Structure 1
Amino acid sequence: MTTSRPKGSSGRGRRDLRVRVKTAKGRKLSSTRWLERQLNDPYVQSAKAEGYRGRAAYKILEIDEKFHFLKPGARVVDLGCAPGGWSQVAVARTNALGTRQNKPQGRVIGVDLQEVEPIEGAEIHLLDFLDEGADDLVREWLGGSADVVISDMAPKASGHPPTDHLRIMGLCEAAAEFAMDVLEPGGVFVAKVLAGGAEADLVARLNRAFAKVSHVKPPASRSDSSEKFVVATGFRGKPD
């Protein structure tokens, strides 16, 4: 399965059909700008049309098209899975619904601190992955180790970029440690990070644990965002 770039994302050879939003009474200018961006975002429009729970689904789709880790039969753990777009993609790509005979059936486990609406083909659990014994619970739910651990988590923004960078890197480091506790040899870890200067320790540890570590900014990631994704493939074992 491949995904094409959402229609209208180029803008070449067409009239300016941009939706403009007037600032309503009581609405902040920043809110108006956000609403206008959402209304004009082709990924938002495509997500609604294709039934995804958010435009973020296209990020994991585009990353997988480059690295091909969501394979039929794969066992996937989605950390911080709300609202569920990444789990939706994982279900479809690992054939978790098993609609054909003799077709490998994947397993998708989504965990989050908040309640998540059920996702067909996925198992959603209310869990803090930082809790002691969380890795044992996930392995129990999977019936073994995971092939892939994915994370699109980000802490609530503080408005102070250096602080936000450190927070998301701390979350990514915790997710990486969890992944190394539950992954099968050869497994894959994918997580969101922010561009900045606090990545060296994480990358060094991942390089010791995985055969290859890459950074990618998929087309669905907004150009004005500092987010990117780390993709670690070929898990070799947790370093000391």
Structure 2
Amino acid sequence: MGRSSKDKRDIYYRLAKEEGWRARSAFKLLQLDEEFQLFEGVRRAVDLCAAPGSWSQVLSRKLKGGAGEGPEAVKIVAVDLQAMAPLPGVVQIQGDITKVSTAQEIIQHFEGQPADLVVCDGAPDVTGLHDIDEYIQAQLLLAALNITTHVLNKGGTFVAKIFRGKDVTLLYSQLRIFFPNVTCAKPRSSRNSSIEAFVVCRGYCPPEGYVPNMSNPLLDHCYDVDFNQLEGPNRVIVPFLACGDLSAYDSDRTYPLQLAPGKEYSYVPPTQPPIRPPYQEACFLKKNNLLAKEPGPPPLEEAGPAPSYGSVLEPQGCPPETAVENVLASLSMSP
């Protein structure tokens, strides 16, 4: 498979490299912003699970722009467990979003002020077992929501990835505790074959007397599984929107390498390779044919020559011709 094959199969992967984005997911946030105007009036933004940094890039380009430094300057903080290459105008924290210390460090970078916008494009390494993937993603989203309650200003916005599974109403119920306006959105750059979508939660308003707590997050004890499995008008449904221009590229379609006449295709390498990814050692071993291989089955024993028709038809040392005649004679004598 040539290096240009993915450029044909994934148009947004190709466009991300050509436009200098670190990952194709940058287009998802851009298309969400087209629909919801997420960046309007934002001065402090947080990107959770930020690596490799495509959403932080979008925040930097959209919010910073030509803004200078000073007390009114836009501040952006990116948080991830993995190391990330530096970005202009973005403060990076290599930390755990389930720790109080991480929330305190975010507020410290904002000089004691809460954030106006929190985004999270984090997702687990999928296993292919949908129930497990949906559960892990749900736990990651709730962890992002929990730290958001520590750092988000009242009236702020929270955007996060979600896997739409059978228990997605439980997540909607949790989000509605803190946000009166919750919408599920699907950007055009997100494949139709994928169960991913994004929740856009606006108007942050925690319950009266609520104190953020990492060790004991607030849960919706009024959630009724049986009620939320009802259908039709009896079920509370979160609005669903498809984001992105209808004339934009289709993420599930294969495009030719030459998109426009007179514009010759040339391969563009990724903008920023991952820094010390967990799979780096495995890739090195595979590339150098050093991966351990399971021993194959033991070799078959040497077998003698295959028996000839003569040996099969030759009874008690008779010549083959006589044996064939005897068989034919017995067949003709049978009733």
Corresponding letter in the other structure for 1:138? I
- Paired with 1:235 and 1:146, the residues of 2 have a C-alpha distance of 11
Contact 1:169–1:198 at 8 Å: present in 2 too?
A: no
Query: 1 CA distance for matches of 2:130 and 2:5?
Result: 24
1:92-131 counterparts in 2 under 5 A?
92-95=61-64, 98=67, 105-131=73-99
Find the counterpart in structure 1 of residue 47 from structure 2: 78
Q: Which residue of 2 aligns with 1:218?
A: 187
- Pick from 151, 163, 177 the counterpart of residue 132 of structure 2: 163
Q: Does 1:227 align with 2:196?
A: yes
SS at match of 1:224: coil
One-letter identity of the residue aligned with 1:136: Q
Q: Identify the residue that residue 29 of structure 1 maps to in structure 2.
A: none
Give the distance between the partners of 2:170 and 2:7, measured in 1 at CA: 35
Q: Residue 159 of structure 1: CA displacement?
A: 2.3
Partner of 2:155: 186
Distance in 1, matches of 2:198 and 2:120, equals: 9
In structure 2, how many angstroms separate the alpha carbons of the residues matched to 1:142 and 1:76?
Answer: 9
1:90 is matched with which residue: 40, 50, 59? Answer: 59
Aligned residue in 2 for 1:153: 122
Q: What is the CA-CA distance between 1:96 and the residue it aligns to?
A: 5.9
Q: Which has the higher strand share?
A: 1
In structure 2, the residue matched to 1:49 is 18
Q: Cα offset for 1:93?
A: 1.4
Contact 1:135 1:182 in 2 (8 A): yes
CA contact (8 A) 2:42 2:116 kept: no
Q: Is the 8 A contact 2:103 2:147 kept in 1?
A: yes
Displacement of 1:46: 1.3
Shift of 1:200: 2.0
| CA distance, structure 1, for counterparts of residue 202 and residue 195 of structure 2 | 23
The 5 A counterparts of 1:172-211 are: 172-211=141-180
Offset from partner CA, 1:164-189 (integer Å, 9 cap, x none): 01000110011111112211011000
Q: CA RMSD in A?
A: 2.3
Which runs of structure 1 show a deviation greater than 4 angstroms over 4 or more consecutive aligned residues? none
TM value normalised by structure 2:
0.58
Ranges in structure 2 where 5+ consecutive residues have no aligned partner: 211-217, 219-335
Q: Provide the rounded CA distance (Å) in 2 between the counterparts of 1:47 and 1:184.
A: 32
Deviation string 1:169-219 (CA, Å, 9 cap, x unpaired) is 110011111112211011000000111022222211221211200000000
Q: Report if aligned partners of 2:45, 2:115 keep a CA contact under 8 Å in 1.
A: yes
Cα separation, partners in 2 of 1:117 and 1:106, compared to 1, 3 Å: same
TM-score scaled to structure 1, two decimals?
Answer: 0.80
Whole-angstrom CA distance in 1 between matches of 2:42 and 2:200: 20
**Larger-gyration structure (1/2):** 2
Question: SS where residue 189 of structure 1 aligns?
Answer: strand
Shift of the 154–124 alpha-carbon distance from structure 1 to 2, 3 Å rule, reads same
Query: What are the Cα deviations for residues 88-129 of structure 1, in whole angstroms up to 9, with x where unaligned?
Result: 001111126515x99x63211001001000011111111111
Q: Distance in 2 between matches of 1:190 and 1:42?
A: 24
Kindly state the Cα deviation for residue 37 of structure 1 after the two structures are TM-superposed: 4.1
Determine which of 67, 86, 109 is the counterpart of 1:141: 109
1:142-178 Cα offsets, whole Å, 9 max, x none, are 2211111100001111221110010001100111111
CA contact (8 A) 1:87 1:122 kept: yes
The one of the two structures with greater contact order (alpha-carbon pairs below 8 A, sep at least 6) is 2
- Residue correspondence of structure 1 range 24-43 to structure 2 within 5 A: 36-43=5-12
Where 1:217 maps in the other structure, the secondary structure is strand
Distance 1:107 1:96 in 2: 12
CA 198–36 in structure 1, closer or farther in 2 if over 3 Å, else same: farther
**Contact residue 42 and residue 117 of structure 2 kept, 8 A:** no
